[in-house]
């Protein structure tokens, strides 16, 4: 089955569906006590659960009333409070139980609303259990999990019914669990916060994957007091089902009162590219910044298909797929010492190990040292003594491992700066050191956003990733520009910037600060993105040397936004930084290193960082308004940052 556009879609950021309520949903285990299990809203007071007999927490009696019976009637309660807690029921199930709980709720829902039932499709939704059984060797790990999950679900349901006789098999449970694994999406409730999973009806679940998709989706959380009956109309549905007519006939696409929960997180599909009438509408199931082989493995193991989208089936790999796997930049004299599969795998293993060691509470300092050493030298050997002048970067700066590494380094440097400040509140020397660590964190953040932006200009479906990175870079640039200033008014800096830059004015109105509502066509979008790249690249020329000065790896990156230099330059990379600025003068009022940089120049540095920050935030906000709508939490977050917390004040009346 697939979904196709039922009309031509000219603009980006258009809702292709109304808000679709879920069929089943569940919070991840770690959010069971911090978020409402009915509406997924964060609990202001987790101690005042209106239904203390339930293991789940609710924000109000209304939410408890809506959801509690599903919790008990589905067997979820028995699973959580008896089976998973008791040594009497040993299990090999490891980790989060949200898929199991969502499957119990879905199975209960099917019992209440019986529909068509085939081995691989229940009430219209595909289950990949049969396909996994056919290739049981290839999907061994997945099958073992489905089997164990089915066993636990079956135990919970029999315990619910007090019926331990007549037990044959767990086919229904396994099929529905496999259905959840095939169709569920993770529910993102705010920037960077994903709290659970949800399964939707065919209007969403029949949308296939593409590595170059034309649509994305966003969520809408409906508060407890809102009666959840208004779930859109067929007229607002701009996509229609295509495939087996028998299946289409038997399933009501949207307004299926027998098929929807009428509460819980709702989903809305949005266009991110122009779409022709009749063209298939696709979203992405996986991280689009991964190289083709990794995407392929992911999709095969989790969704049991081989992707033949335009990006995957291109005769020549697309530019993005090529650079994500580029070994080195030989035209820059960068080394090429890992071009065999063997050495590459070994190196990738080192990277993964360093990153997971850091993520499992390793030292941020060791992580920075290891990762940067690897970016330059290729392998980490603590005892290896190498003359630094002999080193040259081993990795292409746009290689996917480099991009992953920038993410980790931006975070690790930030943590080091915060730790230092927290441990030594008063000492000025530590403040300077912390400033240095912060500016390196900001530099990696900018490099990450710039690298992803460069790829996004060739592959516009990377929009949501680019949006997140620009917003976090803008945020960290503003924080750095604010360093040791308490009285800065962001609104006034923004107003000054708006007066000077027509691009900012455009972004600000597109993002929805002003009242008029327009949607971007592809041409407008490309014009804005090109204008942004030029503007930001120009400002970066001044700011980048300040952020990277004295840094062993970053000094090799000539421009963090416009990567044209990778193709064109043959000059020695170190020669790029002819003008030196003093980073420490930037952070204190009295020049601490006696370099003699004039006060006016120092102010110039600070204002450059501000300008850059405001550009990044507004552009990120503009992308967020396309992906998630003008009133999403991410654009609200950007507004707060720019207004200094005063979200109520409109920038332009």
Ligand X SMILES: C[S@@+](CC[C@H](N)C(=O)[O-])C[C@H]1O[C@@H](n2cnc3c(N)ncnc32)[C@H](O)[C@@H]1O
Could you say which of 64, 98, 128, 405 contacts ligand X (CB under 6 A)?
Answer: 128
Among the listed ranges 21-29, 65-73, 207-215, 572-580, the one in contact with ligand X (CB under 6 A) is 207-215
Among the listed ranges 297-305, 487-495, 513-521, 583-591, the one in contact with ligand X (CB under 6 A) is 297-305
CB 172 within 8 A of CB 126: no
Question: What is the 8-class DSSP label of residue 144?
Answer: H
Minimum CB distance to ligand X smaller for 188 or for 625? 188
Check residue 212 for interaction with ligand X (CB under 6 A): no
Could you say which of 72, 305, 344, 483 contacts ligand X (CB under 6 A)?
Answer: 305
Check residue 24 for interaction with ligand X (CB under 6 A): no
Binding to ligand X in span 160-199, by CB under 6 A: 182-183
Minimum CB distance to ligand X smaller for 309 or for 415? 309
Distance (Å, whole) CA 638 – CA 636 = 5
Residues with Cβ within 8 Å of residue 460, at least 6 apart in sequence = 272, 273, 525
Least Å distance between CB 285 and ligand X? 7
Among the listed ranges 133-141, 305-313, 398-406, 524-532, the one in contact with ligand X (CB under 6 A) is 305-313
3-state secondary structure of 98: helix
Candidates 492, 526, 491; CA nearest to 640 is 491
Least Å distance between CB 600 and ligand X? 57
Check residue 23 for interaction with ligand X (CB under 6 A): no
Binding to ligand X in span 138-157, by CB under 6 A: none
Q: How many CA atoms lie within 13 A of 338 on its CB side?
A: 27
Could you say which of 206, 334, 338, 373 contacts ligand X (CB under 6 A)?
Answer: 206
Check residue 304 for interaction with ligand X (CB under 6 A): yes
Check residue 267 for interaction with ligand X (CB under 6 A): no
Least Å distance between CB 99 and ligand X? 14
Element (H, E) at 640: helix 633-643
Among the listed ranges 82-90, 301-309, 340-348, 414-422, the one in contact with ligand X (CB under 6 A) is 301-309
Could you say which of 1, 624, 638, 643 contacts ligand X (CB under 6 A)?
Answer: 1
Token pair of 167, please?
């037990």
Alpha helices for 459-521 (secondary structure H): 463-481, 490-500, 502-510
Percent of residues in the chain assigned helix, strand, coil, to nearest 5: 50, 10, 40
Distance (Å, whole) CA 100 – CA 145 = 10
Among the listed ranges 43-51, 303-311, 385-393, 580-588, the one in contact with ligand X (CB under 6 A) is 303-311
Check residue 205 for interaction with ligand X (CB under 6 A): yes
Candidates 311, 324, 424, 408; CA nearest to 369 is 408
Element (H, E) at 456: helix 428-458
Check residue 6 for interaction with ligand X (CB under 6 A): no
Check residue 126 for interaction with ligand X (CB under 6 A): yes
Minimum CB distance to ligand X smaller for 372 or for 459? 459
Least Å distance between CB 213 and ligand X? 10
Residues with Cβ within 8 Å of residue 594, at least 6 apart in sequence = none
Least Å distance between CB 282 and ligand X? 7
Least Å distance between CB 247 and ligand X? 8
Candidates 547, 610, 614; CA nearest to 583 is 547
Q: Output the CA angle 252-258-263, nearest 5 degrees.
A: 110
3-state secondary structure of 26: strand
Minimum CB distance to ligand X smaller for 285 or for 444? 285
Least Å distance between CB 479 and ligand X? 40
Least Å distance between CB 260 and ligand X? 17
In this structure, the number of other CB atoms found within 10 A of the CB of residue 95 comes to: 9
Maximum distance among all Cα pairs of the chain, rounded to whole angstroms: 87
Distance (Å, whole) CA 92 – CA 39 = 31
3-state secondary structure of 351: helix
CB 173 within 8 A of CB 103: yes
Check residue 563 for interaction with ligand X (CB under 6 A): no
Among the listed ranges 46-54, 206-214, 412-420, 629-637, the one in contact with ligand X (CB under 6 A) is 206-214
Could you say which of 59, 187, 221, 307 contacts ligand X (CB under 6 A)?
Answer: 307
Burial of 430 (0-12, 13-18, 19+ CB in 10 A): middle
Least Å distance between CB 312 and ligand X? 9
Could you say which of 4, 82, 147, 209 contacts ligand X (CB under 6 A)?
Answer: 209
Minimum CB distance to ligand X smaller for 36 or for 462? 462
Number of amino acids touching ligand X (CB under 6 A): 16
3-state secondary structure of 216: strand
What does the binding site for ligand X look like in residue numbers (CB under 6 A)?
1-2, 126, 128, 182-183, 205-206, 208-210, 303-305, 307, 309
């Amino acid at each position: 089955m697939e979904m196709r556009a039922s009309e031509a879609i000219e603009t980006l950021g258009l809702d292709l569906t109304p808000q679709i309520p879920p069929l089943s949903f569940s919070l991840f285990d770690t959010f069971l006590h911090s978020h409402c299990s009915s509406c997924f809203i964060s609990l202001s007071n987790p101690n005042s659960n209106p239904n203390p007999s339930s293991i789940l927490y609710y924000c109000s009696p209304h939410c408890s009333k809506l959801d509690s019976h599903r919790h008990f009637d589905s067997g979820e309660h028995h699973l959580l409070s008896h089976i998973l807690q008791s040594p009497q029921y040993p299990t090999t199930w490891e980790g989060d139980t949200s898929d199991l709980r969502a499957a119990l709720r879905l199975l209960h829902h099917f019992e209440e609303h019986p529909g068509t039932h085939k081995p691989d499709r229940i009430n219209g939704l595909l289950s990949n259990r049969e396909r996994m059984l056919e290739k049981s060797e290839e999907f061994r790990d997945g099958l073992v999990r489905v089997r164990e999950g089915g066993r636990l679900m079956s135990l919970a349901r029999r315990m619910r019914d007090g019926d331990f006789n007549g037990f044959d098999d767990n086919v229904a449970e396994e099929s529905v669990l496999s259905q959840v694994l095939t169709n569920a999406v993770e529910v993102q409730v705010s920037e960077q916060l994903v709290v659970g999973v949800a399964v939707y009806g065919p209007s969403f679940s029949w949308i296939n994957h593409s590595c170059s998709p034309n649509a994305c989706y966003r969520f809408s959380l409906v508060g407890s007091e809102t009666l959840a009956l208004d779930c859109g109309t067929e007229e607002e549905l701009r996509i229609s089902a295509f495939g087996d007519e028998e299946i289409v006939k038997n399933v009501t696409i949207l307004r299926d009162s027998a098929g929807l929960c009428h509460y819980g997180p709702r989903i809305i599909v949005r266009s991110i590219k122009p779409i022709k009438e009749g063209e298939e509408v696709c979203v992405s199931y996986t991280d689009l910044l991964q190289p083709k082989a990794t995407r392929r493995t992911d999709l095969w193991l989790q969704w049991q298909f081989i992707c033949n989208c335009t990006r995957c089936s291109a005769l020549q790999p697309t530019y993005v797929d090529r650079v994500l796997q580029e070994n080195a930049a030989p035209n820059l004299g960068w080394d090429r010492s890992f071009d065999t599969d063997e050495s590459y795998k070994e190196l990738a293993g080192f990277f993964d190990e360093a990153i997971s060691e850091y993520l499992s509470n390793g030292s941020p300092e060791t992580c920075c040292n290891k990762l940067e050493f690897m970016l330059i030298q290729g392998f980490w050997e603590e005892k290896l003594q190498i003359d630094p002048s002999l080193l040259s970067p081993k990795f292409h700066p746009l290689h996917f491992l480099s991009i992953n590494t920038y993410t980790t380094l931006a975070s690790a440097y930030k943590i080091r700066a915060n730790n230092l400040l927290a441990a030594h509140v008063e000492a000025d020397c530590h403040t300077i050191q912390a400033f240095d660590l912060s500016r390196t964190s900001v530099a990696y953040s900018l490099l990450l956003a710039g690298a992803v932006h460069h790829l996004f200009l060739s592959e516009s479906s990377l929009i949501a990733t680019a949006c997140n990175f620009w917003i976090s870079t803008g945020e960290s640039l503003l924080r750095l520009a604010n360093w040791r200033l308490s009285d800065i008014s962001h609104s006034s800096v923004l107003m000054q910037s708006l007066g000077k830059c027509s691009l900012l004015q455009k972004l600000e109105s597109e993002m929805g600060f002003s009242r008029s509502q327009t949607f971007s066509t592809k041409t407008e979008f490309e014009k804005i993105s090109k204008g942004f790249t030029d503007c930001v690249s120009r400002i970066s020329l001044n700011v980048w040397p300040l952020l990277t000065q004295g840094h062993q790896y970053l000094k090799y990156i000539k421009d963090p936004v416009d990567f044209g230099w990778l193709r064109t330059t043959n000059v020695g990379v170190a020669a790029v930084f002819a003008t030196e600025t003093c980073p420490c003068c930037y952070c204190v009022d009295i020049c601490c290193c006696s370099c003699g940089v004039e006060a006016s120049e120092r102010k110039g540095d600070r204002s450059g960082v501000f300008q850059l920050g405001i550009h990044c935030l507004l552009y990120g906000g503009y992308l967020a308004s396309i992906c998630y709508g003008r009133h999403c939490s991410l654009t609200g977050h950007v507004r707060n940052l720019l207004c200094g917390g005063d979200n109520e004040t409109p920038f332009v009346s």
